[in-house]
Structure 1
Amino acid sequence: MAEHGTDHHGELVVVTGMTGAGRSTAAKELEDLGYYVVDNMPPSLLREVVRLVDESRGVEQPIAVVVDVRSGSFFESVQANLAQGATGRHATLVFLEATDDVLVRRQEAARRPHPLQGGGRLLDGLQREREVLGDLRSDADLVIDTTSLNVHQLTDRIAEAFGTADNIRLKVTVTSFGFKYGIPVDADFVADMRFLPNPHWVPELRASTGRDREVADYVLGQPGAAEFLDGYVPVLESVAAGYLREGKRFMTVAIGCTGGKHRSVAMSEEIASRLVAAGFEARVSHRDLGRE
């Protein structure tokens, strides 16, 4: 497996594996890491794709292609196209797998039939797929079992293998919530905004939310709001930098108030804005907005 900081210029990554094991997630992360990604590509076209990318983007542009059972009879050409020197690039074959019960559950949740199940059961399709992919799995440079991995953990594994110090960034999610609906279970940090006056008790603000300018101005203008932000955001910045050094690429910050409508929403927006200004990749979500 590649280490952080490894130079992946000119690399060719071929992603394959079981349906439902996370090929699309892996491809999206490789794209985020700067790879030119081609999904569902017949392996027989691999050398042609490399040639076109070499001509249009240069030989330093890393490429990732996703091949799966939809490619049908083209599968026997995968090994030939990945033979030493066949493409002129260093090639890495990544195989994603998971247990049958997990794959069945994921496919059923997605409400998609397996491409090889025909008129049979989903499990029949998976068994045929394992037979078709058996040799590819044996040849894989990197096998990732996604049985117990969530989306974030899988993207972490891909980034560990193919990211560099320059293109790996911490992704921070700042989510507002209402304490009366429960604290988010996936939060790394939880902050309570109930120390600020509640706009709910201001008649002209009650129907608005923390995303409305008048509510945000009211909340941010309260005694203690600026002091909290000035003290809390630098702590998050420091921890985020430490997370990234330790290889953790996701951080969830939960900001709560009573109902998740006013104070937590306004403060979440401001915290995320400050994190973005500090150079972090931050997004905002409002879990309970609209529940009242």
Structure 2
Amino acid sequence: MIDDADATLSPERRDPAFPPSDAHPGPADVRRGDDSGEVLIVTGMSGAGRSTAANALEDLDWYVVDNLPPQMLRPLLDLAGRLGGQLPRIAAVVDVRGRDLFSELPAETQAIRDRSNLRVVFLDASDDVLVRRFEAVRRPHPLQGQGTLIDGIRRERDVLATLRESADVIIDTSRFNVHQLANRIADLFADAETPAHTVTLQSFGFKYGVPPDADLVADMRFLPNPFWDDDLRALTGEEQRVVDYVLSQEGAAEFLDAYAAALRPVFAGYQRENKRHSTVAVGCTGGKHRSVAMVNALAERLRDLPGVAVRVRHRDLGRE
């Protein structure tokens, strides 16, 4: 399977932005049977971005199965039913790598439509773009055989013509890059409650080392250390007396306001670039007082950002 080097949304009638045809149910009209979970079949042209789409769906907490024979779709749904809702959203990547088995996909798809909330997304791209992507990775087309690359692409188009016609969503990836395609998948298939970006605000002590996975690091050692106050030494930055002490220091409130304002466009940019997770590390000497108080205060300022989920972690709290 080939990731996109480049990928554009085709204005097809079965994209949710356009009304579905009468012959095929759209995403809002798919029949629901005994199974209450969502099922998504990802298919389309080799080189059109199926693996990028699969990775994006995994990031959205879909359970993704790659290169699944069509005959295994219904057993997979039966298993999901027996698991009692543990797999509420299943995505199966089904394509011509299955060779002769692939011919069973239309019949299996119809059978699943009768019992589940099913959508079929078809990824497509122009012939010249597909040729360029295959040449970039120096791999043959799965249907090329003894012919040329373009022979394989045209043969695949013939095989997939009926399936493309019956798809619920068609995405032309010719002009998308991998991030744009992942964002389009998120727009279509993210749960309404799934954040576009999750940031972990982590306090730490410089004496124990900077977190190696930190995307951004802030240093609170410009503030007086409560450690040198005998009344505060045994406390932590989660206790109100320490919080009041830290936040009342010169520059503390100014830093919080300025840093929160600086992070807002950063997280907005992360969402545009499909960076779904980041870590902002805030340090002091031991990770017990100043950094803890600042992380908690910063979290309060960021919790209302659209599309952003905020998590708090105090790495070194409790260490001697």
TM over 0.5: yes
Letter in 2 for 1:157: R
Q: Which residue among 103, 119, 130 is the counterpart of 2:157?
A: 130
**Deviation string for 1:120-149 (max 9, x for gaps)?**
222211111111111111111000011110
Within the alignment, does 1:10 sit opposite 2:32 as a pair?
no
Matches within 5 A, 1:203-282: 230-239=256-265, 243=268, 249-250=271-272, 280=308
Aligned equivalents of 1:50, 1:252: Cα separation in 2: 30
Larger radius of gyration: 2
Q: Which residue of 1 aligns with 2:73?
A: 46
Q: Which residue among 167, 174, 179 is the counterpart of 1:140?
A: 167
**Deviation string for 1:39-95 (max 9, x for gaps)?**
000111110111112212528611100011111112222111111555621110100
Q: Which residue among 135, 160, 163 is the counterpart of 1:108?
A: 135
Q: 1:233 to 1:125 in 2, by over 3 A?
A: farther
Q: Which residue of 1 aligns with 2:205?
A: none
Q: What TM-score results when the alignment is normalised by the length of structure 2?
A: 0.57
Q: Which residue of 1 aligns with 2:60?
A: 33
Matches within 5 A, 1:50-199: 50-58=77-85, 61-83=88-110, 88-170=115-197
What is the DSSP-based 3-state SS (H/G/I as helix, E as strand, rest coil) of the residue aligned with 1:249? Answer: helix
Q: 1:163 to 1:122 in 2, by over 3 A?
A: same
Aligned equivalents of 1:252, 1:62: Cα separation in 2: 21
Contact 1:70 1:115 in 2 (8 A): yes
Displaced runs of 4 or more, over 6 A: 216-220, 225-228, 273-276
1:12, distance to aligned residue in structure 2 (A): 0.6
Q: Which residue of 1 aligns with 2:288?
A: none
Aligned equivalents of 2:262, 2:70: Cα separation in 1: 45
Aligned equivalents of 1:218, 1:49: Cα separation in 2: 47
Aligned equivalents of 2:71, 2:252: Cα separation in 1: 60
* Structure 1: tracts of 5 or more residues without a match: 173-209, 254-267, 283-292
Q: 1:59 to 1:99 in 2, by over 3 A?
A: same
Contact 1:116 1:129 in 2 (8 A): yes
1:250, distance to aligned residue in structure 2 (A): 2.6
Q: 1:211 to 1:79 in 2, by over 3 A?
A: closer
Aligned equivalents of 1:134, 1:91: Cα separation in 2: 20
Q: What TM-score results when the alignment is normalised by the length of structure 1?
A: 0.62
The number of equivalent residue pairs is: 223
Aligned equivalents of 2:255, 2:274: Cα separation in 1: 17
Contact 1:115 1:125 in 2 (8 A): yes
Aligned equivalents of 2:135, 2:179: Cα separation in 1: 21
Contact 1:171 1:249 in 2 (8 A): no
1:231, distance to aligned residue in structure 2 (A): 4.6
* Structure 2: tracts of 5 or more residues without a match: 1-14, 18-27, 200-209, 224-250, 284-293, 311-320
Aligned equivalents of 1:139, 1:38: Cα separation in 2: 22
How much is the aligned-residue C-alpha RMSD, in angstroms? 4.2
